[in-house]
Structure 1
């Protein structure tokens, strides 16, 4: 094998390794609730989220989100993308954990509880209509 062939083969293997690893630092959320087919902004029934907790949802446009239930009659929604390096946070009761670097957020407010995340999670305006949580247009 020539030196040029060896270099090209090594570069190809490196690119393949990078491609395989590129998504590993940004785990996807597990168990999202998809919006209903009839209404793209419908995140599902408020009753599906225990009071004081949160769960992963799929936002309009297919982006990962967090749906929280601060009280029996209210909902809050946030982007699930960590403000540190863009990994997807995971709901864990009343907290949201980033599996990449250990950031932790309050699931009900989106505020940073533990860094390295520099900023709170961006909130998404929602309303509860007939028991369903709907993203405001």
Structure 2
């Protein structure tokens, strides 16, 4: 009878250890790269090619818009005659598409709101800023380093 008891205990221990291991794997899979598992801080897109996005006259100072260049969907804000800011439109919370409004960049999915001049989160569940692209106004064109 002691052999059966010991075998049963060994079985229960191995089953419990396996269940704990599987639970850990399941929980890790649920994390799936959300912003909480990554460190905070501003990310700058490491571009190497300047691309024209739109004519500077199409985005007056104080205005924001969205635009696409190649595979990149961008949010642009022109804060002055010679100053423009560019960010990805991908929300750092869950990857939804952030919208362009003149005074803010809101995410319609979960309510995050980002600043138009820094991409920093103002409110909502997002805690990391939008990825920044280098941008400039040259020869009447708004250009972004892609």
Asked if Structure 1 and Structure 2 have the same fold, meaning a TM-score greater than 0.5 normalized by the shorter chain, the answer is yes
Asked whether the equivalents of residues 82 and 136 of structure 2 are also in contact (C-alpha less than 8 Å), the reply is no
Asked whether the equivalents of residues 53 and 107 of structure 1 are also in contact (C-alpha less than 8 Å), the reply is no
Relative to the length of structure 2, the TM-score reads 0.62
Query: How many aligned positions are there?
Result: 98
Relative to the length of structure 1, the TM-score reads 0.66
1:96 to 98, 105, 117: 105
Mapped partners of 1:62, 1:40: distance in 2: 14
2:87 to 63, 78, 87: 78
Asked whether the equivalents of residues 80 and 121 of structure 1 are also in contact (C-alpha less than 8 Å), the reply is yes
Spell out structure 1 runs of 4+ moving beyond 6 A.
none
Mapped partners of 2:83, 2:57: distance in 1: 10
Could you tell me how far 1:82 is from its partner in structure 2?
0.4
Asked whether the equivalents of residues 46 and 75 of structure 1 are also in contact (C-alpha less than 8 Å), the reply is no
Asked whether the equivalents of residues 54 and 108 of structure 1 are also in contact (C-alpha less than 8 Å), the reply is no
Higher relative contact order (CA 8 A, sep 6+): 2
1:47 counterpart SS class: helix
1:91 counterpart SS class: coil
Asked whether the equivalents of residues 77 and 102 of structure 2 are also in contact (C-alpha less than 8 Å), the reply is no
- Larger-gyration structure (1/2): 2
Hey, which of these two has a bigger chunk of helix by percent?
A: 2
